Amino acid sequence: MEKEFQGEIERRAEKLLSEIADFEKRAKEEGLEFTSLSKKEIIDKLLGKTSKSPFIYYQGWTSGGHPGQTRSYNVGIHNPDSFTQVWLFVSVFFGIANFLPDIGVGLCGRYYQWPVLSSGMFNLSADQSTTKSFNYKIPNDIPLTTYLGNSVFWKRHAHDVGQYFDRGCFYLNVT
């Protein structure tokens, strides 16, 4: 039985690696920066060792721009569960939050000149993936430097505290 389970995890990891390769190819064609999980990191997430389920498994983004320009960020989400996950959101904000273990504290340090963006609410079927895409305008009258973008993947609860799943980080050089 353990061999069957290990084989299933390997199969699922290979499927995600194939999806990653497809998105990475498109990202390079579009001149986007790209990060993704390694096979070991995917397996750890599938086993629930490093995050809650579902999880973020790749990111692609525009890494540079000038004040007033519109830039983009894309994030891949995968649901390894055997059931549909409902009431999901991805929110994006700018600030130094990546190194803070508590995302709530990280949100307190966001850069207020930048927009906070959220995907529309979505559901994700069992063993399915999706990409959420964001476009944002670089604010005018900000220092020319590198800014960190943060994505937070979470589930809304109408009558209780929402559930945090995972997060990602990307950078933007404003020149």
pTM above 0.85, yes or no: yes
Rounded Cα distance, 123 and 2, in Å? 31
Q: What is the pLDDT of residue 44?
A: 93
Structure tokens at 163: 């559930």
Q: What is the pLDDT of residue 147?
A: 97
* 134-161 pLDDT, tens digit each: 999 999 999 999 999 999 999 999 999 9
- 96: confidence class by pLDDT, cuts 50, 70, 90: confident
The side-by-side arrangement of strands in the sheet containing 70-79 is 33-36, 55-61, 70-79, 128-137
Q: What is the pLDDT of residue 108?
A: 77
Verify cis geometry, omega within 30 degrees of 0, for the bond prior to 139: no
Residue with tokens 């996950």: 85
Is domain 2-174 given the CATH code 3.40.50.720 in the classification? no
Q: What is the pLDDT of residue 18?
A: 97
* 20-52 pLDDT, tens digit each: 999 999 999 999 999 999 999 999 999 987 777
Domain boundaries, the chain: 2-174
Lowest mean pLDDT among 2-16, 27-41, 64-78, 111-125: 2-16
